């Protein structure tokens, strides 16, 4: 496990993770530090566009049948992971259907910020990954929501309403991500030459500020963690590990390479806290947002950023590609 | 000057439900509304902090000026519509100058 320790320490020493820690510290000491909402949103827009664009450019070089298969597998994983999450939740905490289904949807979906942080980590650790990982992230956002609703309500019924569909398919992050990806794919290296400084050199700095905000937000959210049973807290750390293990196993036949495998594992381990909560409010209003947001944002997200990413990278490097 | 009595309906509701609630208000007979975004507070369901990243802890304030019968219809139906949402509804008396407008 020496590999993991080295990677873990290297991860913790990056400005990004340290900024996250700074945000967490600031919230813990009840500082009034606030990143203005518009700036946080602006940073999110920038990060999503940049990662989408860079993925599209890389896809132009890498795409093909392997990419399509990987996308299919990723979408299926997103669809099926909530089943595992649901079972674990019922086992560990005896949570009711509606809440268990809603939480499960979060863990089948992905956290774009976790992915972005992991992608930077791969770049800094010299672990290249196929460009279509970004496309895999995009397709993993939504299927879990459908499964979550099915589990929570025992059927889709009128849950797939207009507002919900609009929320899920047309929400800002999806449009930016997919749009950026398509633009990157279409313009390729020439496009990269034109905006390379913006999406490349400035990226890490923006990520630092955004993670500072995330540290603040996640720690403040953690104050609601007192309401969580021990079983739920265990779930918040166990489920990412389970998801990552499954993804690592799938990465081998898909030929993703160590960097790609680590990122796929990160995707499976991450839990949404932006897109899915809003969808769940509409689809499963009986479920309590204090539960699912605290679990995914307050516990799983920091776990993945601080420990998960280097762990998945260490394990991925041990896979016999 | 001649004024006309109307009811002001105020609904503080979580941001996730804004679209469905506005559509419902229109169906119930409101001719318009005013929306105050990013409202925070505290209540039975715990603290509501505006500007939250997941947007599920944001509240909005919807104001509509309607006729008395419409107001009572809205209040009654709100028990059904807002059953699972975090929020409150209340009425108050107001006077307006343009009878045809509300």
Q: Which two tokens stand for residue B8?
A: 């002001």
pLDDT score at B77: 95
The Cα A109–Cα A98 span in angstroms is 17
Residue A317 · residue A265 · CB < 8 Å: no
ipTM of the complex: 0.71
pLDDT range class, residue A1, cuts 50, 70, 90: low
Contact between chains at B84 and A285 (C-beta distance less than 8 A):
yes
Query: From A161, which residue of chain B is nearest by alpha-carbon distance?
Result: B20
Residue A235 · residue A86 · CB < 8 Å: no
Give the one of A217, A224, A281 whose C-beta lies nearest to B56's C-beta: A281
pLDDT score at A235: 96
Contact between chains at B20 and A282 (C-beta distance less than 8 A):
yes
- Residue A97 near chain B (CB below 8 Å): no
* Residues contacting B66, CB < 8 A, separation 6+: B6, B7, B9, B29, B30, B31, B74, B102
Query: From A285, which residue of chain B is nearest by alpha-carbon distance?
Result: B84
Q: Which two tokens stand for residue A78?
A: 């997103």
Contact between chains at B56 and A277 (C-beta distance less than 8 A):
yes
B77-96 residues touching A, CB cutoff 8 A: 84-85
pLDDT score at B83: 86
pLDDT per residue over B53-80, tens digit each?
A: 677 788 999 999 999 999 999 999 999 9
Residue A199 · residue A59 · CB < 8 Å: no
- Residue A163 near chain B (CB below 8 Å): yes
The pTM score is 0.85
* Residues contacting A280, CB < 8 A, separation 6+: A102, A105, A106, A145, A148, A287, A289, A292, B56
List the beta bridge partners of residue B7. Answer: B66, B93
pLDDT range class, residue A64, cuts 50, 70, 90: confident
The Cα A264–Cα A246 span in angstroms is 10
Residue A181 · residue A55 · CB < 8 Å: yes
pLDDT score at A48: 87
Residue B38 · residue B58 · CB < 8 Å: yes
Interface test with B, best of A289, A290, A291, A293 (most B CBs within 10 A): A289
Residue A17 · residue A306 · CB < 8 Å: yes
Q: Which two tokens stand for residue A125?
A: 């650790």
Give the one of A280, A286, A289 whose C-beta lies nearest to B57's C-beta: A289
Contact between chains at A163 and B84 (C-beta distance less than 8 A):
no
Annotate B61-101 with DSSP letters as a single string. Answer: EEEEEE-HHHHHHHHHHHHHHTTTS-EEEEEEEEEES-GGG
pLDDT score at A136: 92
pLDDT score at A140: 93
Q: What is the mean pLDDT of chain B?
A: 89
Q: What is the mean pLDDT of chain A?
A: 89
Give the one of B16, B20, B84 whose C-beta lies nearest to A278's C-beta: B16
Contact between chains at B55 and A278 (C-beta distance less than 8 A):
yes
Residues of A in contact with B56 (CB under 8 A): 277-278, 280-281, 289, 293
Q: Which of B54, B16, B56, B62 is nearest to B37 (CA)?
A: B62
pLDDT score at A159: 64
Residue A255 · residue A128 · CB < 8 Å: no
Q: Which of A43, A48, A55, A46 is nearest to A192 (CA)?
A: A55
DSSP symbol at A226:
G
B39-58 residues touching A, CB cutoff 8 A: 46, 51-57
Q: Which of B5, B34, B6, B9 is nearest to B91 (CA)?
A: B9
Contact between chains at B53 and A40 (C-beta distance less than 8 A):
yes
Instruction: Decide if pLDDT at A62 tops 80.
Output: no
pLDDT score at A102: 95
The Cα A32–Cα A21 span in angstroms is 16
Q: Which of A191, A171, A150, A190 is nearest to A50 (CA)?
A: A191
Give the one of B19, B56, B84 whose C-beta lies nearest to A293's C-beta: B56
């Amino acid at each position: 496990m020496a590999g993991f320790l080295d990677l873990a320490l290297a991860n913790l020493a990056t400005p990004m993770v340290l900024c996250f820690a700074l945000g967490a510290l600031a919230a813990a000491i009840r500082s009034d530090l606030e990143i203005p909402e518009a700036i946080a949103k602006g940073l999110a827009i920038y990060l999503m566009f940049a990662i989408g664009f860079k993925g599209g450019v890389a896809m132009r070089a890498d795409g093909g049948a392997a990419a399509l298969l990987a996308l299919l597998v990723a979408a299926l994983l997103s669809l099926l992971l909530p089943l595992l999450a649901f079972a674990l939740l019922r086992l560990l905490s005896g949570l009711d259907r509606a809440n268990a289904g809603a939480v499960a949807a979060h863990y089948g979906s992905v956290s774009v910020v976790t992915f972005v942080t992991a992608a930077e980590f791969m770049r800094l650790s010299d672990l290249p990954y196929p460009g279509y990982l970004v496309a895999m992230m995009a397709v993993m956002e939504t299927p879990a929501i459908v499964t979550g609703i099915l589990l929570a309500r025992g059927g889709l019924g009128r849950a797939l309403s207009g507002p919900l569909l609009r929320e899920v398919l047309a929400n800002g992050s999806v449009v930016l991500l997919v749009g950026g990806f398509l633009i990157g794919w279409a313009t390729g290296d020439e496009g990269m030459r034109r905006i390379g400084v913006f999406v490349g050199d400035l990226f890490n700095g923006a990520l630092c500020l955004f993670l500072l905000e995330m540290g603040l937000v996640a720690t403040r959210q953690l104050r609601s963690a007192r309401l969580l049973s021990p079983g739920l807290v265990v779930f918040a750390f166990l489920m990412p590990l389970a998801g990552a293990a499954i993804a690592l196993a799938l990465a081998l036949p898909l030929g993703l390479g160590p960097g790609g495998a680590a990122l796929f594992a990160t995707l499976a381990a991450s839990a949404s806290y932006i897109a899915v909560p809003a969808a769940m409010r509409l689809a499963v209003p009986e479920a309590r947002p204090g539960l699912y947001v605290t679990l995914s944002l307050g516990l799983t997200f920091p776990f993945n950023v601080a420990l998960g990413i280097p762990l998945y990278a260490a394990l991925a490097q041990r896979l016999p590609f | 000057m001649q004024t006309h009595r109307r009811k002001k309906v105020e609904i503080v509701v979580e941001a996730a439900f804004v679209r469905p609630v506005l559509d419902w208000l229109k169906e119930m007979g409101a001719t318009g509304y005013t929306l105050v975004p990013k409202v925070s507070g505290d209540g039975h369901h715990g603290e509501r902090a505006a500007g939250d990243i997941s947007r599920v802890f944001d509240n909005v304030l919807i104001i509509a000026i309607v006729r008395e019968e419409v107001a009572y219809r809205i209040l009654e139906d709100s028990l059904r519509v807002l059953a699972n949402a975090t929020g409150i509804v209340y009425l108050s008396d107001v006077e307006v100058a343009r009878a045809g407008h509300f």
